[in-house]
Structure 1
């Protein structure tokens, strides 16, 4: 079987809409759960199963809804298909404050209730409000070895597959676990791919990033390392701006466990603005890397960047994206830009990358930049929204993948 590459895959039947494979398709399965202790509500939405399995993180935030989880599951299904991964898409979400001291107990009980799915069909990982360390601790509480359990259990020698995964997860890159930074690295590569596709010198490419957690902070780090000018970052406390370029490594050192920067230690020359100011700052690239629906119909007019690269899932409402498209501002969709962690995890599961982080970085950089280049080419040639081109790639791959049995060596 040959999956779609980056040049010859726009071959769907004339008159069909590739987006319909994801947007109009009803979820394959849904489960709603109520915590017997706190009354918190949790949801599992499995959008697609490929080879009988799906992957997607678990998030926790106050106000998390079923529709949000369903949107994210659809995005995950699109993401895995776009990167040709032999797995469907799902998402878990719990409506509870992750800072509440009862949060770990809620997460553990949610996983215990989802045990039938986690045993055989759902591979999960960190997401908004839930670190991978907390995921793994909760899995240990319910008697599961690792959050990749559903895939690992399919291997002919599960112990060997688990050992390989553990070895990969223990790899350090720039002093941090590779799994914690690979997603942000992928976002940085999407930004660099856009800059190169549109003919901007990397050193003169200004980037504004909303969110400095795992994804936003990683993107900021690797963009800074590549020579791009990160002129603004925003967290829950506000926006920090230096139009000459922020000292990203120094600022990231000031983060607390919730991804907020200690304002008492921010250099005096760094301008401090409101949290919402990040939208209206002039930059070549704006990276929403914090919450879903950060760009909406009511604030899209404030966006001043030339390109939006979605690091957060569902960062832009479709109405807002239509408005940006009409203004000539392309959006690199989340299911392309933030797919790095999901792609890397699956490459690790299948033994396609190992313990040399540079192998993982090189593969992700090549795949991410080549995909963004094609999206940018179609946008430049005929104004095709990048999301539409991405849907066409994902749709072609999904039809090639359906019915394929997953193989874990």
Structure 2
């Protein structure tokens, strides 16, 4: 296990810094740690990018090929999300280089969390991410004697048992499309898409969208876009892209997903085109939503994108050089730390008691904030300003000095 602590200034809550033209303003993370699993050889990583009030938040992912640099990028993104939504917490991320479909994956995740216990007890609030469902990580926490994956924040409350009950009630509350805790992130992405369309003067019914990935985030976004009246013309999973210019039967396709977010092709209508997986990025549509893996849009495939808007639902789905290429072509990329921040923002609203089990309160709060943020970013944006990410820079955000109090 390797620990690399950084300066006290960062621990005090210095927020993540975004790249600006010609200047590398990135500072090192507060902590980078590597863990090795003696039983399988799996390697896990924890990166705490920033601590605010002694806390950081960010999910834990599992995928073959996961690297420390990937986790560090994602942790920096979490710092940006928490700053953009004015949350009283810093950013972190966990990652494990292991195949989540391997039958040993649950045991690997359990041993990783056990090794991270000192941080999970006091400083790091984690949750689902690529390859790790919320149900899975909560079951691991239960096995380790912790109430839930928000354990570190829950234990700060005056009544941890009552706080845990409130959190679990919110996570498991019924909402259109599924459990509130599962769908809230996708709902936020959908609201980002709807706001972007409105800025362009398009109604939902006039707007077409292609979604790469039908897991928790992509599936939720697709469901709510379909519910809002947008035509979801393409959905892509690991097996390929499903395309129909008149729009897909999104609810039927989502209902046929397996636990890994892949659609059973037996339910696909015969008039739906079956294209290669990578074809989704080049679909002729108004909005492309990368909601699968990091670094999906690169300099080598960015030229395929025809849509005038990209809304980042995955974490870090667009490389920096690809984003510059897209911007030069007049394509607006709504950055992940805005578009997909709904899940983390909602989790902390739930922890702090701002929302509860009524999904309508959560939806109203997230819709108003996402609409305001995306509208403000895109209304006067032009390619001459550089990537939308630069306009959304949160590096100067100052956090409240008030102590973090979880009711």
- The TM-score with structure 1 as length reference comes to 0.93
Q: Map 1:222-237; keep pairs closer than 5 Å.
A: 222-237=224-239
One of 35, 39, 42 as aligned partner of 1:40? 42
Residue number in structure 1 paired with 2:328? 326
* Greater Cα offset, 88-97 or 249-258: 249-258
**Match of 1:251, SS?**
helix
- Matches of 2:18 and 2:252 in 1, distance apart? 44
Q: Map 1:3-402; keep pairs closer than 5 Å.
A: 19=19, 24-174=26-176, 176-380=178-382, 383-391=385-393, 394-397=394-397, 399-401=398-400
- Matches of 1:188 and 1:238 in 2, distance apart? 22
Contact 1:291-1:315 at 8 Å conserved across structures? yes
| Structure 1: segments with no counterpart, 5+ residues | 1-16
- Matches of 1:146 and 1:378 in 2, distance apart? 43
Residue number in structure 2 paired with 1:3? none
Q: Shift of the alpha carbon at 1:377?
A: 2.0
- Matches of 1:256 and 1:267 in 2, distance apart? 18
**Match of 2:96, SS?**
strand
- Matches of 2:325 and 2:402 in 1, distance apart? 39
- Matches of 1:124 and 1:356 in 2, distance apart? 23
**Match of 2:92, SS?**
strand
**Deviations 1:283-306 (CA, angstroms, capped at 9, x unpaired):** 110000000000001111111111
Contact 1:50-1:404 at 8 Å conserved across structures? no
**Match of 2:252, SS?**
helix
- Cα–Cα, structure 1 residues 152 and 287, in superposed 2: closer, same or farther, change >3 Å? same
| Structure 2: segments with no counterpart, 5+ residues | 1-16
Give the aligned CA root-mean-square deviation in angstroms. 1.5
- Between 1 and 2, higher relative CO (CA 8 Å, sep ≥ 6) is seen in 1
* Greater Cα offset, 372-381 or 177-186: 372-381
- Cα–Cα, structure 1 residues 129 and 73, in superposed 2: closer, same or farther, change >3 Å? same
- Tell me whether 1:405 sits opposite 2:407 in the alignment: no
**Match of 2:269, SS?**
coil
- Matches of 1:134 and 1:195 in 2, distance apart? 35
- Matches of 1:74 and 1:143 in 2, distance apart? 29
- Matches of 2:381 and 2:171 in 1, distance apart? 37
**Match of 1:59, SS?**
strand
**Match of 2:242, SS?**
strand
- The TM-score with structure 2 as length reference comes to 0.93
Q: Shift of the alpha carbon at 1:22?
A: 10
Q: Shift of the alpha carbon at 1:404?
A: 3.9
- Matches of 1:311 and 1:215 in 2, distance apart? 7
Q: Shift of the alpha carbon at 1:400?
A: 3.1
- Matches of 2:83 and 2:24 in 1, distance apart? 10
**Deviations 1:226-285 (CA, angstroms, capped at 9, x unpaired):** 001100010000000010011111111111111111112211010110001111111110
**Deviations 1:355-396 (CA, angstroms, capped at 9, x unpaired):** 1100000100000011000110241496342101211xx223
Residue number in structure 1 paired with 2:10? none
Q: Shift of the alpha carbon at 1:159?
A: 1.6
- Cα–Cα, structure 1 residues 18 and 321, in superposed 2: closer, same or farther, change >3 Å? closer
Number of residues paired by the alignment? Answer: 389
Residue number in structure 2 paired with 1:10? none
Contact 1:202-1:227 at 8 Å conserved across structures? yes
- Matches of 1:265 and 1:180 in 2, distance apart? 23
